[in-house]
């Protein structure tokens, strides 16, 4: 059972391992959006956004719902928002550590 969970986590984090996918998730954390809305907000080509949405959809991180001739994307699990917040906090902690180290170097 532990191995299955570890594999799931590894695959899950692989799916998050692209900056554009993270940006898409951050946008979807603000609310559901169509592909066109996402493209406009990230300023990226449609094919790039569609590729990344396919990866996120395949890994069950986002869902797509047909609305006429467009697809509206949303987060499958709202805990993704918390995960992104925790990642930001970890990033900030690393920055604080780096700044502290630089201050110590400059004192010497």
Return the CATH number at 25.
Answer: 1.10.10.10
Helices (DSSP H) in the chain: which residue ranges? 2-15, 19-29, 35-42, 46-58, 79-107
Encode pLDDT of 14-59 as tens digits. 999 999 999 999 999 999 999 999 999 999 877 999 999 999 999 9
Encode pLDDT of 67-77 as tens digits. 999 999 999 99
56 inside domain? yes
Query: What is the DSSP secondary structure assignment for residue 6, as one 8-state letter?
Result: H
Residue ranges making up the domain that contains 65: 2-77
pTM of the model: 0.83
Cβ proximity of 23 and 44 under 8 Å: no
Encode pLDDT of 81-102 as tens digits. 999 999 899 888 888 777 887 7
106 inside domain? no
67 inside domain? yes
Total tally of structural domains belonging to the chain: 1
6 inside domain? yes
35 inside domain? yes
């Amino acid at each position: 059972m532990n191995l299955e969970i570890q594999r799931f986590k590894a695959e899950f984090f692989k799916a998050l391992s692209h900056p554009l996918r993270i940006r898409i998730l951050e946008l979807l954390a603000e609310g559901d959006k169509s592909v066109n809305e996402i493209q406009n907000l990230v300023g990226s080509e449609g094919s790039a956004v569609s590729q990344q949405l396919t990866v996120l959809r395949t890994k069950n991180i986002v869902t797509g719902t047909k609305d006429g001739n467009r697809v509206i994307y949303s987060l499958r699990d709202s805990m993704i928002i918390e995960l992104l917040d925790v990642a930001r906090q970890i990033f900030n902690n690393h920055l604080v550590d780096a700044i502290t180290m630089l201050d110590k170097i400059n004192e010497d």
